[in-house]
Amino acid sequence: MKTGVLRKHLESLKPWQQAAFCVAQAERTWPNFALFSELTGFGEAADIRNCLDRLWEFVAGERSPKQLERLHEKLDPNMPDPEAFDVYGVHPALDMIVGLTSALSCSITPNFDETMSSALLVQSTVGKFIKFSEVPDLKGTELNQYIHDHPLSVEQDAFFEELFELLKQYPNPKPAIAKNLRRLAQNETTSNIGITLE
Which parts of 43-150 fold into alpha helices (H)?
45-59, 72-75, 90-108, 112-134, 140-149
d(CA 198, CA 189): 7
Question: Based on the structure, what is the number of domains in the chain?
Answer: 1
d(CA 100, CA 94): 10
For residue 12, the 8-state DSSP code is T
From first to last of the 198 residues of the chain, give the pLDDT tens digit.
999 999 999 999 999 999 999 999 999 999 999 999 999 999 999 999 999 999 999 999 999 999 999 999 999 999 999 999 999 999 999 999 999 999 999 999 999 999 999 999 999 999 999 999 999 999 999 999 999 999 999 999 999 999 999 999 998 899 999 999 999 999 999 999 999 987
Asked whether 151 and 126 are in contact (CB, 8 A), the reply is no
d(CA 81, CA 118): 19
User: What CATH number did the domain enclosing 55 receive?
Assistant: 1.20.1590.10
Residue 77 lies inside a defined structural domain of this protein: yes
Report the half-sphere exposure of 83 (CA within 13 A, side-chain side).
0
Which residue range is the domain that position 113 belongs to?
3-187
Say what the pTM is: 0.96
Residue type, 197: L
Residue 107 lies inside a defined structural domain of this protein: yes
Residue 30 lies inside a defined structural domain of this protein: yes
For residue 18, give the H/E element and its range: helix 15-40
